A and B are shown apart, each in its own frame.
Chain A
Amino acid sequence: EPEVTQTPSHQVTQMGQEVILRCVPISNHLYFYWYRQILGQKVEFLVSFYNNEISEKSEIFDDQFSVERPDGSNFTLKIRSTKLEDSAMYFCASSSTGYSNQPQHFGDGTRLSIL
């Protein structure tokens, strides 16, 4: 069964450094998402992306964050200047359409640790 893959599985970065998290969504899916989960807390929406544009974003997704689809397969999340509170699991997801009747398929996440 097709799956969403994320790399790296664990990223350790010094505070203030830039970090790029990578995802390969399911190949025929059109909508892409990033979520994060701080340890012991809920999964929280960050951003959705369609047709090379941000479709929606949450309050968490401030100017320090950006997303990009640099080629036909990858989808990246960049955090420009990391803060301690950015430490979390970051999940990429994709769906075939942007309608509510379609599930989102999640990768296994990147654990980001900010020192």
Chain B
Amino acid sequence: SQKIEQNSEALNIQEGKTATLTCNYTNYSPAYLQWYRQDPGRGPVFLLLIRENEKEKRKERLKVTFDTTLKQSLFHITASQPADSATYLCALDVSSARQLTFGSGTQLTVLP
């Protein structure tokens, strides 16, 4: 069965450092992979989307890579700030474009 795993439940880093979050998937070849941010008690907020034929995508301090051979996406936040503290979710269209399957998320805490 398809599986989506995010590297750890929690990640603590110092302000100013680069945070790197991992999303691994098995038994599937997605055309797209998406990253969302979720704050406590709020809905997921879309951050970035990357296509299977794109190696890397950037938006301001965010960078996503997509390695279809390793079946892995890395999500980087450079020059991290306490305001970046949140849970980050990766999501794939495992069975259909109209049905996102989410990973369990990584809770990032940026320490001042």
Contact = CB atoms under 8 A, between A and B. Distances in A.
B96 interface: yes
Contact of B104 (A42, A45, A56): A42
Given A100-B97, A104-B46, 20 more contacts: A42-B102, A42-B105, A43-B38, A43-B89, A44-B102, A50-B98, A56-B96, A56-B99, A91-B44, A99-B97, A100-B30, A100-B32, A101-B32, A103-B34, A105-B46, A106-B43, A106-B44, A108-B42, A109-B42, A109-B43
Interface of B: 30-32, 34, 36, 38, 41-46, 49, 51, 89, 93, 96-105
A75 interface: no
Contacts of A58: 99
A42 B5 CA distance: 11
A55 interface: yes
B49 A103 contact: yes
What secondary structure prevails in chain B residues at the interface with A?
strand
B45 A106 contact: yes
Contacts, number: 59
Interface in A57-115: 58, 91, 93, 98-101, 103-109, 111
Contact-residue size bin, chain A (C-beta under 8 Å from the other chain): 20 to 34
B89 A56 contact: no
Given A91-B44, A106-B44, A43 B98 contact: no
